[in-house]
Amino acid sequence: MLDRLKSSTGARTPAIDLHDLVTELFPINRSLTGAGVRQTLAVVARHVDLAIHEVPSGTPILDWHVPAEWNIRRATISDMAGRRLVDFADHNLHVMGYSRPVQAVLSRAELAKHIHTLPEQPDLIPYRTGYYADDWGFCLPDRLWREMTDDSYRVDIDSDLTQGALTYGELFVPGLTSREVLITCHVCHPSLANDNLSGIAVMTALAMRQARQTRRLGYRFLFLPATIGALAWLDRNQSHLDRVEHGLVLTCLGDPSEFHYKQSRKSAPIDRAVAHVLKHSGHSHEILPFSPYGYDERQFCSPGFDLPVGCLMRGVHGTFPEYHTSADNLDFVRPECLDQSYAVIEQVLDLLDRDYVYERVDGRGEPQLGRRGLYRAIAGQREAGGATQMDLLWVLNLADGKHSLLDMAIRADVPFARIEAAARLALDASLIRPAASPGSASGDTGRSEAP
């Protein structure tokens, strides 16, 4: 599939089939650490030039330490006749993440202390972890657990916790300036298609796209285990964080819910950019205020860093019934929703990269447009869905070296692409020029010229 195929509606589709990538990654057992994370990153690395980082177990990470590496080979619950009732091989949600090894015969009452179910969703398997608990557990449908009425059961978990490493992936696509856009997703969940794999798939496609283009801004893509992965990257890159101009955490992008964007802590330009794109996208959406609960945006937005990072999602974590259950499967994630999410983020990245500041060459009064052929140019643009005369007037009025193109689009209440098209007309007619003192509402002081 070509990188920028056009559909009948003009929407662009990614270079890879996003649902196929989710399907390929779905069976892999992932956790904070271990072989599953490495296997997942190896799949991503087939598509982009991913750098793999390993942080040894026990390494101090800000107020944390990298945990032991966890790997699991098999896990079962059997009755005393040897019949397997629960098998990790059937679904990797069956075992609580980071379960320590155990081989034992337990009474049902003893086993019950290590069983996790969802009585209100009796046919679903819950997702549970015990990263720092030194414990073990099984997750199974409540209906199955209620049918298990024998006095005793045999439990077998073949796992290990060793001095290994935390693994994360990173791709940096340099731009023409030193300013960066930080884009992240988490890679630590097992078979959860929306809450994990949708973000990985969409971000992989975006990384492929950005790597093939010349961009003003640099783009840094991080594939991280949640929390500890973000903390590890922050700890290792503290001297470079001032380069981060904008940031997005991507998650839950494949379900049919409306879009939700959670703002950054500092009300940063990324918030205005995403809100603007969503407003003119035609998709139902909601803008959420920042809160210190959620995904890794809470690490990037912690007060000691306070980076301009928001979180884009469709379904909001913890609010849809499939969340952290076996119902978050390949049927829940829809190809058209993945493609829509990709297209929205693609527009956001293009906006960030093209949000220049201009000033009038001669700002005294309104210039004569007719003798410069701009009315004819606008007519041609309108036939192609471009700028209107009013868009051009907004550009000519707000090109004062203080307003960026996004500022203009928001003030005029029109899509960014129309304001950008009008600015190109004005630039070609020598009515505007790049601002003498480069800068914008986005705070980019690294640019010196416009396209």
Q: What is the CATH number of the domain that holds 411?
A: 1.10.10.10
pLDDT digits (tens, 9 = 90+) for 128-173: 999 999 999 999 999 999 999 999 999 999 999 999 999 999 999 9
pLDDT digits (tens, 9 = 90+) for 264-287: 999 899 999 999 999 999 999 999
Alpha-carbon distance of 84 to 78, in angstroms, equals: 4
Do 36 and 79 reside in the same domain of the chain?
Answer: no
For residue 252, which of 161, 185, 178 has the smallest C-alpha distance? 185
46-62 mean pLDDT:
98
pLDDT digits (tens, 9 = 90+) for 305-323: 999 999 999 999 999 999 9
Do 274 and 347 reside in the same domain of the chain?
Answer: yes
- 448 domain residue, yes or no: no
Alpha-carbon distance of 23 to 13, in angstroms, equals: 18
Residue 375 predicted with pLDDT over 90: no
Query: Into how many domains does the chain fold?
Result: 3
pTM over 0.85: yes
Do 182 and 297 reside in the same domain of the chain?
Answer: yes
pLDDT digits (tens, 9 = 90+) for 73-132: 999 999 999 999 999 999 999 999 999 999 999 999 999 999 999 999 999 999 999 999
pLDDT the model gives residue 450: 52
- 13 domain residue, yes or no: no
Do 136 and 197 reside in the same domain of the chain?
Answer: no
192-209 mean pLDDT:
97
pLDDT the model gives residue 12: 67
Given the DSSP bridges, would you call strands 357-360 and 400-404 parallel, antiparallel or unpaired?
A: antiparallel
For residue 18, which of 166, 208, 289, 273 has the smallest C-alpha distance? 208
Average pLDDT over the chain, rounded to whole?
92
207-236 mean pLDDT:
97
Look at residue 25 and give its three-state secondary structure. Answer: helix
- 7 domain residue, yes or no: no
For residue 184, which of 250, 234, 243, 237 has the smallest C-alpha distance? 250
Do 258 and 230 reside in the same domain of the chain?
Answer: yes
Do 368 and 334 reside in the same domain of the chain?
Answer: no
Alpha-carbon distance of 171 to 223, in angstroms, equals: 9
Name the band, by pLDDT with cuts 50, 70 and 90, for residue 441.
very low
At 166, phi and psi to the nearest 5? -90, 135
Do 261 and 347 reside in the same domain of the chain?
Answer: yes
Residue 338 predicted with pLDDT over 50: yes
- 417 domain residue, yes or no: yes
Do 327 and 370 reside in the same domain of the chain?
Answer: no
Residue 4 predicted with pLDDT over 50: no
pLDDT the model gives residue 385: 55
Q: Is 9 exposed, middle or buried (0-12, 13-18, 19+ CB in 10 A)?
A: exposed
CA atoms within 13 A on the CB side of 116: 19
pLDDT the model gives residue 320: 97
Alpha-carbon distance of 74 to 156, in angstroms, equals: 8
For residue 72, which of 93, 101, 43, 94 has the smallest C-alpha distance? 101
* Residue type, position 399, single letter: A
220-245 mean pLDDT:
97
Exposure class string for 305-322: b at 16+ Cβ within 10 A, else e: eebbbbbbbbbbbeebeb
Alpha-carbon distance of 194 to 329, in angstroms, equals: 7
Residue 180 predicted with pLDDT over 80: yes
Name the band, by pLDDT with cuts 50, 70 and 90, for residue 373.
confident
- Look at residues 354, 381, 414 and tell me which one is the last residue of a structural domain: 354
Which residues touch 60 (CB under 8 Å, ≥6 apart)?
A: none
Do 180 and 260 reside in the same domain of the chain?
Answer: yes
Alpha-carbon distance of 8 to 426, in angstroms, equals: 30
Residue predicted with more confidence, 431 or 440: 431
Alpha-carbon distance of 25 to 16, in angstroms, equals: 14
Write the DSSP assignment of 431-449 as a string of letters.
SEEE-SS---TT---S---
Name the band, by pLDDT with cuts 50, 70 and 90, for residue 10.
very low
How many CB atoms neighbour CB 288 within 10 A? 14
Q: Kindly state the tokens that stand for 360.
A: 């009038």
245-267 mean pLDDT:
97
Do 311 and 221 reside in the same domain of the chain?
Answer: yes
Look at residue 185 and give its three-state secondary structure. Answer: strand
- 450 domain residue, yes or no: no
CATH code of residue 50: 3.40.630.10
Which residues touch 122 (CB under 8 Å, ≥6 apart)?
A: 141, 142, 143, 146
**Low-confidence winner among 14-23, 140-149, 338-347, 367-376 (lowest mean pLDDT):** 367-376
For residue 440, which of 409, 414, 402 has the smallest C-alpha distance? 402
For residue 235, which of 65, 70, 68, 52 has the smallest C-alpha distance? 65
- 3 domain residue, yes or no: no
* Residue type, position 401, single letter: G
Q: Kindly state the tokens that stand for 283.
A: 């998709």
Do 154 and 195 reside in the same domain of the chain?
Answer: no
* Residue 249 DSSP class: E
- 130 domain residue, yes or no: yes
Look at residue 324 and give its three-state secondary structure. Answer: coil
Do 250 and 157 reside in the same domain of the chain?
Answer: no
pLDDT digits (tens, 9 = 90+) for 389-434: 899 999 999 999 999 999 999 999 999 999 999 999 999 999 999 9
At 433, phi and psi to the nearest 5? -150, 165
Partners of 138 in the beta sheet?
95, 115
Domain that holds residue 157: 73-162
